[in-house]
Structures are given as structure tokens and as C-alpha cells.
Amino acid sequence: ASTMATMVEALGLTLPGASAIPAVDSRKKVMAQLSGRRIVEMVREDLRLSSILTRKAFENAIVVNAAVGGSTNLIIHLLAIAGRIGVKLNLEDFDQLGSKIPLLVNLMPSGKFLMEDYFYAGGLPVVINELGDRLHQDAITVNGKTLRENNAKAECFNREVIASIDKPLQPEAGIAVLKGNLCENGAVIKPSAATPALMKHRGRAVVFESMDDYHARIDDPNLDIDASCVIVLKSVGPKGYPGMPEVGNVDLPKKLILKGVKDMVRISDGRMSGTAYGTVVLHISPESAIGGTLALVKEGDFIELDVANRKLHLEVSGEELQRRRAAWLPPAPHASRGYVRIYLEHVQQADQGADLDILAGKSGSVVKGDLH
């Protein structure tokens, strides 16, 4: 939720400083009142979202998300919004624009502070000011002013919480977009939340076909797994688990936790909460439920993760994958009628924003005729 609020402010869709005000702070109510007044003024001025949500605005949101160490969920939401209004945005943009941006905000899970500490340190206006020309500072916002005009005088009150651009917490943050035979259309990982030693790793796959399978076996004392293994979770993507839940950062086996293991490489076609930590590869596309390569992974296969080189590779020959694909059977639909059936028929893959394909494309249709 904090990432999404930050994203909206970075897009220029809130008044300056709105995104991080704590729920119990009286300034929250004041901001709500000011926002309501501004909405009425925007109608009178004919200042529309189409004038604000430009390609520049989306690029700003990607850069800001990297600087604050925001959630991977931002990717899906931004892609979906861009798809609905006709702005060209793709998965690679998140890597190209965000991977070289330094981490400036010391927030959990990448850091140690909470959102209220961030707000009292100065909040997003300070981050925007620090980023300088790394952002399109001339982008227009809802108050009719540019990003630069809104945030130029922002002052930091705690450098332990918000670092300067000259002394960042990490030289590079952002979200890494991976490619390989296991994720032809892409997968993502959040480096600032991962264990550095696992960013380049090769391990034996321990495969769970679904969340039910995972819950049934993960704490089995006889499960053949050690800290070097790669936990593979299938069937939690947009179609495989309608809604694409935040289950990608599954818990480690209890027997390994008791031995002091704190992190393992985990991969899935699902999502992960922005508050979660770990070396977790997410949003694998195409997902397993539609026959993506993830569906073909078997127990004992070896998987190579190389974040620096943006690589996720299943060490299985092309010939063997063809044989497995020929034998693969698609799962039964989750629903035969109703909204879930409509969702299953129209939901896009994660690399497209997991939105409904019937909603993609620039808006503007008008309903004509009498409605009674």
C-alpha cells in the first residue's frame, strides 16, 4: 500500500507530500480536504488525467520506486494503468530506468525504519528533490505545477532515514528483470530485499505443483531439501490462482529454519508483498497454468539464477523440454461460469500487467442513447 501511494504521488496524481502521511496524523484529514477542493478546481480548469499520465510520468514512477526500495507490485499496476490509457510501457523499462538508481530510503524490508519515520524525515518530496535530473522534473501534476516546482524546497530532517544522492544506502536498487528459458517473457526480483550471496546461485529444484501441495509437504521431515536448493512454486499466476496472490515468498522448511537458514532462492509465477524479504523470483511469464516452461520443471532439475546478468535458466535440454511439453496437460478451469470464468478468459500475463484484455486500449468510448 505504501508503494502504491508513493507511485500515485510520483505520477503527479496527488498533492505534494500526500503519500506518506500516517493514518493517525491530523494532516491526513487536512490533505483529504485540500484534495477534494483541488478536484473541483481541476474540473473547472479542465485539467485531465490524460494531461498528467504521460510517458514521462510513468518513467518518474519507476525511478522513484527504485529510490525508495518499493514493491514489485508496482510493475503490475503501472503496466495495467499504462495499458488502459494507451501509454507504451513494457517490462524492460523497469530494468532500464530503475536498475542504476541508488537506494535512498532506509525503510523495511530493505532497511530498518517505518513509514512514519520516513514521513517525519521529509517524505517523498525530499526523495524527488534528491533525484534531481534523474526525473522528468518538468512533468505536470494535479495542482497544475511541475514536479520541480512542488518539491524544490523540500528539506530532509533525518539523513539516517533518507540518504543524500551523494551518499546513498546502496549504489543501485530498482527491480531486476530476468530472462531465460524458464521465463521467456520475463520475471522479476527485488535486489534490495535479496541476500547478496544468493544473487548468483545454482541449485536443485524442489517443486510444489500448487499452494495445497506446498502446505502438505513443506514441513515434512522427510522432504529432500537443503539450503542450496531452489524452491519452485507453480500455479499461482493470474490464471493458475485467479487474482495472482502474494504467496511467492513462501516460508522455508521448518527443519532448515531450526538450523539457522534465513533465506533460499524461491521462484514462482505469483506475487510478493512489498513488506517481504528474500531472494524471490516472481511474476514468471508465461505462467505455469498456460504451459509456460515453469509448468515443465521437475523435481531434481537444476536452475541457475544470475541477477547481474539478468538470467534465469533451467538446465534441461530443448529436446527434453519438447518431450515434457508434449506430455503436459492443462489444468481444469477454476470456474465454468460467472465473473471468475470471465476473468480466466480475459486476464493477461504478468508482463502485461495482469489486467483484462478487454479493458486495454485508450479510453474514450461514449455510451449513447436512452438508458431507460
288 is catalytic: no
CA distances from 137 to 128, 150, 241, 340 (A): 9, 10, 40, 42
SS3 of the chain: helix, strand, coil, percent, to 5: 35, 15, 50
Q: Which of 175, 91, 128, 134 is nearest to 353 (CA)?
A: 91
How open is the CA angle 36-116-190, to the nearest 5 degrees? Answer: 100
Q: Helix (H, G, I), strand (E, B), or coil: what is residue 7?
A: helix
Q: What DSSP state is assigned to residue 146?
A: B
User: Which residue is catalytic, options 273, 285, 288, 365?
Assistant: 273
CA distance linking residue 101 with residue 66, whole number of Å:
6
Q: How many whole angstroms separate alpha carbon 183 and alpha carbon 234?
A: 13
In angstroms, the Cα distances linking 354 to 27, 152, 186, 341 are 35, 36, 13, 15
* The one-letter amino acid at 30: V
Which H or E run contains 154? none
* E strand intervals along the chain: 176-180, 183-189, 200-208, 230-233, 265-268, 280-285, 302-306, 311-314
One-letter amino acid identity for 76? Answer: I
Task: Supply 34's cell numbers.
Answer: 485540500
**The residue to which cell 505455469 is assigned:** 288
105 phi/psi in degrees, rounded to 5: -110, 125
DSSP string, 235-263: S-STTTTTT--S-SSPPPPHHHHTTT---
C-alpha cell at 59: 518513467
Catalytic positions are: 273
